[in-house]
Chains A and B, each alone.
Chain A
């Protein structure tokens, strides 16, 4: 069965600095998706970034980028120029590619605090 591990329960970053959140996963599949979701105190789940496993190029969305290492099964999220609004729980998630219900498997989350 697939698993997702986030080894950092909490992280802290100074405003305008850069922070990297770690995520590792385990799967026997070769094609899959990886996601980072943000959950602010409002508890709404917000998709931050998505990566298709067949793509070698790391996904980037404005200040958010990932370091996808397929062989190492690692998928870290880098947040540049951190802002106060980035403070939230961040969940790494895995999903099989097609051929199944496509449900998400979540890590336990990392709580990010941003210091002014």
Chain B
């Protein structure tokens, strides 16, 4: 089956640093990747959608300069949280799909804790 690898699974860092999260499709070409954020005991909220080779489309209220998304290849997308602060602490999940009407395959998520 289709596998999406997300790394790191857990990161703790000081306020003001930037953190990069990687999302890789291991056995399929991820034409489109999605980044979600999930607060404790809440649902997944879509942050942005990225197509390979194009700029990401951000959801309303998501700061594009704060959450930099790069989707430079068909197997890799990265989310960089710039100058992270404690309010950015959350669980971030990526998903990927190849064709439009194919299911999304999820990574295992990244728990980000900003001290």
Contact = CB atoms under 8 A, between A and B. Distances in A.
Interface of A: 33, 35, 42-45, 47, 50, 91, 97-99, 101-109
A91 B103 contact: no
A102 B102 CA distance: 9
Contacts of A98: 100-101
B69 interface: no
Interface residues of B, number: 22
Given A106-B44, A108-B43, A43 B101 contact: no
Contacts, number: 50
B75 interface: no
A42 B91 CA distance: 12
B108 A91 contact: no
B49 interface: yes
A50 B4 CA distance: 19
Contacts of A105: 46
Contact of B109 (A44, A107, A109): A44
Given A47-B103, A98-B100, A102-B101, A109 B95 contact: no
A39 to B, nearest CB: 9
Contact of A107 (B43, B91, B97, B103): B43
A50 B104 CA distance: 11
A50 B103 CA distance: 9
A5 to B, nearest CB: 11
Given A42-B108, A91-B43, A102-B32, 15 more contacts: A43-B109, A45-B44, A47-B103, A50-B103, A98-B100, A101-B32, A101-B57, A102-B100, A103-B34, A104-B34, A104-B46, A106-B43, A106-B44, A107-B43, A108-B42
A44 B43 contact: no
